[in-house]
Amino acid sequence: PIPTVKVKIAFPEGVDVSRFAPAPGWKREVEKDATGRITSVTWSGGSIASDELGVFMFQGRNGKGGALTFKAYQTYSDGSVVEWANAPADANPAPVVTLTDVPMAAAELTDAAAIGQVVAAIAFLDGAGFHALDTAIAGGEIPAGSIGKVNQAAAITGAVKWPSALREDAHALAGNLITLRTAIAAGNASGAADPAKAVHDGAHDLSKKVYAWLGEMGGDHGADASHSH
């Protein structure tokens, strides 16, 4: 399997991107048009193995409703490029986000971009391997590469605009991730044991609440059935 080393996303007309979440280990470059609108972003310099999930987050205004196509370009370490830029029925389809009007009472965090933040963040946290990390640290071992994973999780969790129903749990998890990162950086497995358990439990609890929240919002939360502790 060949790792991914560069990801480019082109933003469609009507989408005004204003900021990006940190992506530790990756360099970010943006392209702008004559008006200063960001038209694309490229992350490079990192590496995503074929069995890993990379999460790159951004925030901006959605513009008009309807279907928005975000063409993406994935570069592998051997120089090959996969263009996710085709129609939905073709091979390598471009990601499409469909925006619809929502009642004002449900407008706190129901736009596609904001919900996408929550879904992307919890997908990363679910795949971060905190159970294995907790087990290893409890046994007195700090696995290689742990600080990078924890650092990225802390950055992502801290950057999301969480809805009120999830905010307290998410902020607590972010705090525990920072504490764990400090202990790992110091090489202190004993000191990392409690925050590692808190992160493991906190990420699991937050994940369950996210899927329940998505269900209340009317979203597809079928992934909850396969979520494991």
Number of domains in the chain: 2
Q: Please indicate, yes or no, whether residues 110 and 218 belong to a single structural domain of this protein.
A: yes
How much is the pTM? 0.55
Q: Please indicate, yes or no, whether residues 91 and 202 belong to a single structural domain of this protein.
A: no
Domain boundary among 60, 79, 100: 100
| Rounded Cα distance, 227 and 229, in Å | 7
Q: Please indicate, yes or no, whether residues 93 and 118 belong to a single structural domain of this protein.
A: no
Q: Please indicate, yes or no, whether residues 27 and 81 belong to a single structural domain of this protein.
A: yes
Q: Please indicate, yes or no, whether residues 64 and 136 belong to a single structural domain of this protein.
A: no
Short-list 29, 19, 23, 74, CA closest to 46: 23
- Give the CATH number of the domain where residue 59 resides: 2.60.40.2230
Q: Please indicate, yes or no, whether residues 71 and 148 belong to a single structural domain of this protein.
A: no
Domain boundary among 53, 79, 100: 100
Q: Please indicate, yes or no, whether residues 118 and 222 belong to a single structural domain of this protein.
A: yes
Q: Please indicate, yes or no, whether residues 156 and 185 belong to a single structural domain of this protein.
A: yes
Domain that holds residue 188: 106-226
| Rounded Cα distance, 22 and 150, in Å | 13
| Rounded Cα distance, 95 and 125, in Å | 22
Q: Please indicate, yes or no, whether residues 121 and 220 belong to a single structural domain of this protein.
A: yes
Residue 55, helix vs strand vs coil: coil
| Rounded Cα distance, 153 and 129, in Å | 11
Q: Please indicate, yes or no, whether residues 219 and 115 belong to a single structural domain of this protein.
A: yes
Q: Please indicate, yes or no, whether residues 172 and 199 belong to a single structural domain of this protein.
A: yes
Sign, CA dihedral 120-122-123-127, equals positive
The answer to whether 45 and 34 are in contact (CB under 8 A) is no
Q: Please indicate, yes or no, whether residues 45 and 118 belong to a single structural domain of this protein.
A: no
**Angle made by CA atoms 42, 48, 58, in degrees to the nearest 5:** 40
Residue by residue, pLDDT tens for the chain (229 residues) are: 789 999 999 998 888 888 887 787 899 999 999 999 999 999 999 998 887 777 787 877 776 667 788 899 999 999 999 998 888 777 888 777 666 555 544 444 445 567 778 888 888 898 889 999 999 999 999 998 898 889 888 888 988 888 888 999 999 999 999 999 999 999 999 999 999 999 999 999 999 999 888 877 654 444 443 444 4
Question: 19 phi and psi, to 5 degrees?
Answer: -160, 165
Domain boundary among 100, 132, 157: 100
